[in-house]
Amino acid sequence: MNVYKEKAKKIGVTIAKSKNTDKKFDVFKDGVKQASIGASGYMDYEKYKKKDGLAVANKKRENYRARHKDNIKVKTKDGKLTAGYLSSKILW
């Protein structure tokens, strides 16, 4: 969890375990919930790195970014940070 908190801190947000059981984290900026990110039950960069090593994790990251290239470019929508942007910065 600490590595995710550090990544979140770098982009000026905080995270907490999600209240939505289908998601990993809820992301907050200035106390306002921005989005829920990360499907629970799926792996992310840090989990792949720990389980399968850096080379596999880097390949998974590359594939993730290619699949979601349109979503991760959109930083805000309706005045809030988007889930795609936040996922790419915190989970991948």
Supply the pLDDT for residue 67.
95
Supply the pLDDT for residue 79.
87
Report phi then psi at 14, rounded to 5: -125, 160
Supply the pLDDT for residue 91.
97
Supply the pLDDT for residue 1.
80
pTM of the shown model: 0.90
The full 3-state SS of the chain, as one line of letters, equals CHHHHHHHHHCCCEEEECCCCCEEEEEEECCEEEEEEEECCCCCHHHHHHHHCHHHHHHHHHHHHHHCHHHHHCCEECCEECHHHHHHHHCC
Supply the pLDDT for residue 74.
92
**Number of domains into which the chain is organized:** 1
Spatial separation of the C-alpha atoms in residues 2 and 92, rounded to whole Å: 15
Mean pLDDT by 10 residues, the chain (92 residues): 95 97 97 96 97 98 96 90 96 96
Range of the domain at 70: 2-90
